[in-house]
Amino acid sequence: MFNNNLFSDVKFVVQKAAEDESESKQVIPAHKFVLSISSPVFEAMFYGELAETSDSIQLPDCEYDSILELFRYMYSDKVNLSGSNVMGVLYLAKKYMVPSLADKCMKYLQDNLDPSNVFIILPSAQKFEEKNLVDRCWKLISKQTEEAVKSECFETIERSLLEVVVKHDNLTIEEIELFNAVDLWATKECERQGLAGDGEAKRRILGEEIIKGIRFPIMDEKDFASVVLDSKILTAEEIVSVLKLRNSVPSPPKAFSKTKRSGSVADIQRRCRFNSLSNRRLQCGSRTHHHIQFSVDRDIKLLGVCLFGSENNTYTVELVVRSLFERTVFMPKTGQFSSELLQGGKFNYFGFKVLFDNQQVLLEKYTAYQIEAEISGPDSTCGDHGDSTVTCSGVTFTFTEFDLDSGGTTPRRGQYPEILFSL
Q: Is the same domain home to 164 and 92?
A: no
- Beta pairing, strands 289-296 & 395-400: antiparallel
Q: Write down the pLDDT at residue 266.
A: 47
Q: Write down the pLDDT at residue 271.
A: 79
Tell me the CA distances in angstroms from 59 to 14, 63, 96, one per residue in order.
Answer: 5, 8, 13
Domain presence at residue 100: yes
pLDDT digits (tens, 9 = 90+) for 194-218: 999 899 999 999 999 999 999 999 8
Instruction: Report how far residue 419's alpha carbon sits from residue 423's, in angstroms, rounded to the nearest whole number.
Output: 13
Domain presence at residue 51: yes
Q: Is the same domain home to 84 and 217?
A: no
Q: Write down the pLDDT at residue 105.
A: 95
Instruction: Report how far residue 380's alpha carbon sits from residue 281's, in angstroms, rounded to the nearest whole number.
Output: 6
Q: Write down the pLDDT at residue 251.
A: 67
Instruction: Report how far residue 231's alpha carbon sits from residue 413's, in angstroms, rounded to the nearest whole number.
Output: 54
Parent domain of 414:
274-422
Domain count for the chain, please give it.
3
**258 CB neighbour count, 10 Å cutoff:** 15
Average pLDDT over residues 158-174: 92
Task: With beta carbons less than 8 A apart as the criterion, state whether 384 and 275 touch.
Answer: yes
Q: Is the same domain home to 278 and 418?
A: yes
Query: Taking all residues of the chain, what is their mean pLDDT, rounded to a whole number?
Result: 88
Domain presence at residue 264: no
In sequence order, the 6+-apart residues with CB closer than 8 A to the CB of 250 are 244
Domain presence at residue 254: no
Average pLDDT over residues 285-301: 84
Tell me the CA distances in angstroms from 293 to 154, 278, 321, 324, one per residue in order.
Answer: 44, 21, 10, 9
Query: Which amino acid appears at position 200 of this protein?
Result: E
The CATH number of the domain holding residue 18 is 3.30.710.10
Q: Which of 7-11, 38-42, 74-78, 271-275 has the lowest mean pLDDT?
A: 271-275
Tell me the CA distances in angstroms from 196 to 168, 210, 231, 265, 354, one per residue in order.
Answer: 29, 20, 13, 37, 44
Domain presence at residue 370: yes
Q: Is the same domain home to 303 and 228?
A: no
Q: For the sheet containing 56-63, what is the strand order?
A: 25-30, 10-15, 56-63
The helix (run of H) or strand (run of E) holding residue 213 is: helix 199-213
Q: Is the same domain home to 232 and 287?
A: no
Buried b (16+ CB within 10 A) or exposed e, 150-172: bbeebbebeeeebbbbbebbbbb
Query: Which amino acid appears at position 373 of this protein?
Result: A
Q: Is the same domain home to 218 and 202?
A: yes
In sequence order, the 6+-apart residues with CB closer than 8 A to the CB of 359 are 331
**pLDDT class for 39, splitting at 50, 70, 90?**
very high
17-26, 312-321, 326-335, range with greatest mean pLDDT: 312-321
Strand partners, 12: 28, 57
Total residues belonging to the chain: 423
Q: Is the same domain home to 101 and 146?
A: no
Q: Which of 55, 85, 111 is the last residue of a domain?
A: 111
